Amino acid sequence: MNRFDFIAPHNISEAVAAAAEPGSAYLAAGTNLLDLMKIGVSRPVRLIDITRLPGLDRIEWQPDGGVRIGAMVRNSDLAYDPRFARTFPAVAEALLSGASAQLRNAATIGGNLMQRTRCAYFQDTASACNRRVPGSGCDALHGENRLHAVVGWSEHCIATHPSDFCVPLAALDAVVELEGPQGKREIPLEDFHRLPGETPEQETALAPAELIVALRLPAEAARFAANARYLKLRERTSYAFAVVSAAAALEINDGVISHARLALGAIAAKPWRAREAEASLAGAEPTLEAFTRAAGFALADARPSGDNAFKIELARRIAVRALILAAEGTPEVMPALPASPFSTTPGASHVA
């Protein structure tokens, strides 16, 4: 690990000013950043500690029923907040399916959005990686790539985004609040992460020195509370990133779907919102035929980026399964294995 300066600002303005210096990086829990520093992938010369900045660790309910979540709220604190879990159950389920309990107790909401890809070639400094060293190439294209992207990829990068949390956020129209040298602004979560194109090193829409200060879920997202699920298929039941995942949310009135939301994870460099699939479900009955048709729309543009054609069919099936589970209704208690397709019996309630 390289030597670095450690800065502890007293407020957001001081933090932003400090981060404007070249080579700076914000430090929250560090569950991803510190690992990357240890292996030489990330080499900041200044760390800006934001863990003690006032006001960033609050869950604030808005008068209209929406919620504002400070960037320093811990993953476990949000997932186990009773009101939040009842109102946005798919988000809570996604949070509880990620990492381990120890990591969820440390990791933050803002840091989760800023996770970097787990592509092995990105994390190996001896490999060519356009995300890490622009213009160096992409060894994943002709390497071990069975878990890489099947939509939105380019010849410059085929990596996927690792977050579980971000998948239901994209489906539910979450908004990210930012503060930087040019002031405050907001950006939809769906637009926060970038597809690689010709500039895969530009992973997010953040401007230099901008800081994530909060995340908002709109009141409209609460309409799906009764029929919302997150489903994650992984190579082992826990402590693993998704091979494919899906967040499905339905509003059902008189046996007909009035509104639908669907987003897929681990198939692209960002959470993949399936808007055409959603449109196909509006006005339809919640049947296997309707869900299969919607999943087809969701993966219509998918193509293998290597030895991963199986992910396209797997993603279709996980989308159908997530929609079926959502139609059956949000469980009264969180499943014993959150988001797992193998979970058949409920666990202990954390929303009472």
Q: What is the 3-state secondary structure (H, E, C) of the chain?
A: CCCCEEECCCCHHHHHHHHCCCCEEEECCCCCHHHHHHCCCCCCCEEEECCCCCCCCCEEECCCCCEEEECCCEHHHHHCCHHHHHHCHHHHHHHHCCCCHHHHHHCEHHHHHCCCCCCCCCCCCCCCECCCCCCCCEHHHHCCCCCCCCCCCECCECCCCCCCCHHHHHHCCCEEEEEECCEEEEEEHHHHECCCCCCCCCCECCCCCCEEEEEEECHHHHHHCCCEEEEEEECCCCCCCEEEEEEEEEEEECCEEEEEEEEEECCCCCCEECHHHHHHHCCCCCCHHHHHHHHHHHCCCCCCCCCCCHHHHHHHHHHHHHHHHHHHCCCCCCECCCCCCCCCCECCCCCC
At residue 43, what is the residue type? Answer: R
Question: Domain ranges in the chain?
Answer: 1-54, 223-328
| CA nearest to 65, candidates 80, 87, 81 | 87
pLDDT at 344: 74
Write out the CATH class of domain 1-54: alpha beta
The span from the CA of 248 to the CA of 264, in Å, is 9
Q: pTM of the entire structure?
A: 0.97
Q: Which fold has domain 223-328?
A: Enolase-like; domain 1 (3.30.390)
- Tell me the pLDDT of the chain (352 aa) as tens digits: 899 999 999 999 999 999 999 999 999 999 999 999 999 999 999 999 999 999 999 999 999 999 999 999 999 999 999 999 999 999 999 999 999 999 999 999 999 999 999 999 999 999 999 999 999 999 999 999 999 999 999 999 999 999 999 999 999 999 999 999 999 999 999 999 999 999 999 999 999 999 999 999 999 999 999 999 999 999 998 889 999 999 999 999 999 999 999 999 999 999 999 999 999 999 999 999 999 999 999 999 999 999 999 999 999 999 999 999 999 999 999 998 999 998 875 554 444 3
pLDDT at 43: 97
The span from the CA of 127 to the CA of 141, in Å, is 12
The span from the CA of 251 to the CA of 282, in Å, is 9
Name the packing angle between helices 288-298 and 310-328 (round to 10°). 140
Q: Confirm whether 1-54 and 223-328 share one CATH topology.
A: no
The span from the CA of 2 to the CA of 67, in Å, is 39
The span from the CA of 156 to the CA of 196, in Å, is 7
Q: Answer yes or no: are the C-beta atoms of 20 and 208 closer than 8 Å.
A: yes
